[in-house]
Amino acid sequence: MENAIFEKNLEAAARAWPLLSAEELRKQPDTLNCLAEDCINAAGEKTLLARYKGNFIHIHSKYDPSRAAEGFARHIPLEKKNGALILCGMGFGYEVREYLRTISEDNRIIVCEPDYELLRHAFRSVDLTGLMRDGRVFVVAGESKDGLAARFRERIGMYAIDRAVIAKMPAYWRLYGDRLDAARDALLETAKYFAIIRNSISKLSETWYLSHFRNWKTLAQSCAIDNFFGLLEGKPAVLVSAGPSLNKNVGLLNEIKGKVFILCVYTALKVLEKRNIRPDMVIALDGRQIIYRDFANYAFDMPLIYCSSVNPDIFGAHSGKTVAAMTGNDGFTAGVLSELGVKTERVQTGESVACAALDILCKMGAGPVIFIGQDFAYSGGKNHADGTFYDGKNGAEDVASQKFPVEAWDGGQVLTDDMWYVYLEWFGRYIREDGGKRTFVDATEGGALIRGTERMTFRQAIKKYRKHGYDVESILKMGFAKGPLMDAAKVRMLVEKLAQVRADLEETLKILGYGIGLSEKLEKLYEETDSPDSEDINEILKEFGKVDEVLERVKHSTPIMDVLFMKSALDLNAVRAEGTNEGTYAARRSHILYKSLLDAAEFTLPLIDEAQADLESVY
């Protein structure tokens, strides 16, 4: 019987909880320190015992596990909609079942088992397939803090993270102690990560939106970064960032110029130029206009890697070849290119240009990848190297009290902040996930410790890897020889695509205006009485259905509106004001939705006209 339950659970878990290791679950459970027993009740339930300091303790109630689980769930309330519960420990699943009974379909439960031992007993003792079929429950086991943070980003998401709560099974707390804190730390890290993204969306969504359209002309004449993927296979490359430690060793780049590929983030470019060092490529992804005002009187012509949401002001100073990279912020552009038959591979960004640069070098096949200027910290009380575009904003007075210490490159400690710590953790996670395919060398000679790297001075790195040098210019020629993203025929197809988007938006404007009127009508009904006539409500809801039907159809041809709508999504997920009834709250959310989409459509129409005119001038 035990074997039949185990195989049934194992088969279902492969589909529902794929991150669990079947190999670990198949290992024989430790019956000396953990065992299952029947409860003393009429329901035929089982409980689980585990040895703690020489004695066995019950993971669930010895007498009535279901009733005890009900009390546990009642004392740790969960948001009824769009919430998330992170449960440290599951045992035989009684607490999980109780939560599922009370929460909505929008909620999620992530169970974090510190290891596989208790899971092995659960899989052999009780039928867990009902939890697996539910879809709201996801179980992981033996994950590190970084692994848990990755799962939280995937399963909870940006708009629900503020409604996530952690609960620890009391018996697990006794058994595992501080090991359960990994879930708490991972949740805090995830919240910081999403806070940075939300801040970017709030400040930059309109700027990104403008850039997507105003960069179409440049995009049509650019080659894809994909052209260069694989061309540096097994060859060393240097990633130059603008951290304070860059001033220590940047001059050494002259010794490898032309022999090792040098990729420079745009903020470090002036530091190199002042020393007559010309990088092989520069990468810029920032959508902020203020960043590129510094380029207004600064001309450069080395190949420029960019994404479609980069602020177009940078092209005013650039006169060289351009290389387009598709990132997570470029879904609309990548989708349109795909419709035109242009396939591109997404570049990971990690919300930092240095993260994108690292992913690009790895996709190019580089190895080792050598970092300089990659501090992720306030080395020497500065936030950037001297000579960058941040001059004048680089003093110790900018190092606010909100900083905290982390392990430093030299073994001591150095101050960082939430934003840089997110980037630092991203680098460490990326290096681990690379799985030893290449060596990563941190030759920054300062800043925070990047885990997973070999540490050495840049002079030592040059001495070790210069013998593997190669003709960089010939590599670049191979990539550029593959031609631009779009030929004349594809540009004409793009112009036609934009014309269709324009027609769809014209139709959308009419239906959105109608939807706003319905929202106002619904809110007025609830202002007059808490219980308006059901026929009136149903009639309005029926009309809402017609509005949403049109929007759903148009959405497939105009996904670009999602870029601007992200900012409004933050408002849609705001907590309801105290005293607001359900009907009024729903009406106001509908109004926010339709008004934001209406604003986006009106904002987009002239941009389409501008983009079409730009593209028609290309060929």
Distance CA 586, CA 607 (A): 32
- Give Cα 570 to chain centroid, integer Å: 16
Same domain, 506 and 423: no
Average predicted confidence (pLDDT) for the chain: 84
Say how far apart CA 545 and CA 523 lie, in whole Å: 17
Tens of pLDDT, residue by residue over 189-234, are: 777 776 666 555 555 456 667 788 889 999 999 999 999 999 999 9
Domain assignment present for 206: no
C-alpha to C-alpha distance for 389 and 291, rounded to whole angstroms:
8
Please count the structural domains in the chain: 3
User: Which residue, 428, 421, 422, 425, is CA-closest to 442?
Assistant: 428
Percent of the chain exceeding pLDDT 90 equals 34
Q: What is the pLDDT of residue 80?
A: 58
Helix (H, G, I), strand (E, B) or coil at 85: strand
pLDDT given for residue 401 in this prediction? 46
Is beta strand 223-224 parallel, antiparallel or unpaired with respect to 440-442? unpaired
The pLDDT score that the predictor gives to residue 559 is 57
- Tokens at 386, concatenated: 């001297």
**Where does the pLDDT of residue 79 fall: very low under 50, low under 70, confident under 90, or very high at 90 and above?**
low
Return the minimum-mean-pLDDT range out of 136-145, 332-341, 483-492, 563-572: 563-572
Same-domain check for residues 290 and 386 = yes
Q: Is residue 73 in a domain? A: yes
Domain end marker among 193, 224, 243: 193
Amino acid letter, residue 532: P
Report how far residue 619's alpha carbon sits from residue 492's, in angstroms, rounded to the nearest whole number. Answer: 9
Q: Same structural domain for residues 153 and 288?
A: no
* Predicted local confidence at residue 261, as pLDDT: 98
Give the highest mean pLDDT range of 81-90, 106-115, 359-368.
Answer: 359-368
Judgement on whether residues 187 and 230 belong to the same structural domain of the protein: no
Domain that holds residue 545: 488-616
Q: Are 573 and 607 found together in one domain?
A: yes
Indicate the range of 155-159, 344-348, 431-435, 500-504 predicted with least confidence. 155-159
Greater confidence, 39 or 334? 334
Q: Do the domain assignments include residue 282?
A: yes
Same structural domain, 492 and 454? no
Residue pair 484/340 in contact (Cβ under 8 Å)? The answer is: no
DSSP H or E run through 220: helix 216-220
Residues 424 and 513 in one domain: no
pLDDT score, position 244:
95
**What are the structure tokens assigned to 340, written together?**
């035109």
Q: How far is Cα 151 from Cα 93, in angstroms, rounded to an integer?
A: 20
- Decide which of 256 and 76 is more confident: 256
pLDDT of residue 303 exceeding 90: yes
Say if residue 470 is in the same domain as residue 507.
no
For residue 508, CA distances in Å to 499, 546, 549 come to 14, 12, 11
Question: Would you place residue 396 in the very low, low, confident or very high pLDDT band (cuts 50, 70, 90)?
Answer: very low
**Residue 167 structure tokens:** 């609960």
359 and 473 share a domain?
yes
Q: Are residues 458 and 558 in the same domain?
A: no
**Confidence at 379, pLDDT banded by 50, 70, 90:** very high
Report which listed range, 58-72, 92-106, 256-270, 600-614, is most confident: 256-270
DSSP states of 296-322 = TT--B-S-EEE-TTS-GGGGGTB-S-E
Q: How confident is the model at residue 399 (pLDDT cuts 50, 70, 90)?
A: very low
CATH number of the structural domain spanning residue 125: 3.40.50
Whether residue 109 contacts residue 136, with contact meaning beta carbons closer than 8 Å, is answered with yes
Residues 270 and 164 in one domain: no
CB proximity list for 23: less than 8 A, separation 6 or greater: none
Instruction: Check: CB of residue 59 under 8 Å from CB of residue 94.
Output: no
Who wins on pLDDT, 386 or 191?
A: 386
Q: Which residues contact 178 (CB under 8 A, 6 or more apart)?
A: none
pLDDT at 390 over 80: no
Rounded distance, CA 224 to CA 387, Å?
A: 31
Q: Residue 597 domain-assigned? A: yes
How many Cβ atoms sit within 10 Å of the Cβ of residue 114? 20
Domain boundary among 447, 480, 513: 480
What value does the mean pLDDT take over residues 6-15? 92
Q: What does the chain come to in residues?
A: 619
Interior angle at CA 335, CA 333 and CA 339, nearest 5? 115
Q: Is 574 within a domain? A: yes
Cα–chain center distance at 130: 31
Question: How is residue 565 written in tokens?
Answer: 């709508």
The reply to whether 434 falls in a domain is yes
Per-residue pLDDT tens for 454-470?
A: 999 999 999 999 889 99
On whether residue 207 sits in a domain, the answer given is no
Preceding amide of 368 cis, omega within 30: yes
Is pLDDT larger for residue 200 or for residue 418? 418
373 lies in a domain?
yes
pLDDT exceeds 80 at position 315: yes
Q: What is the pLDDT of residue 38?
A: 63
Check whether residue 124 and residue 185 sit in a common domain: yes
472 and 457 in contact (C-beta within 8 Å)? no
Among residues 448, 480, 512, the one where a domain terminates is: 480
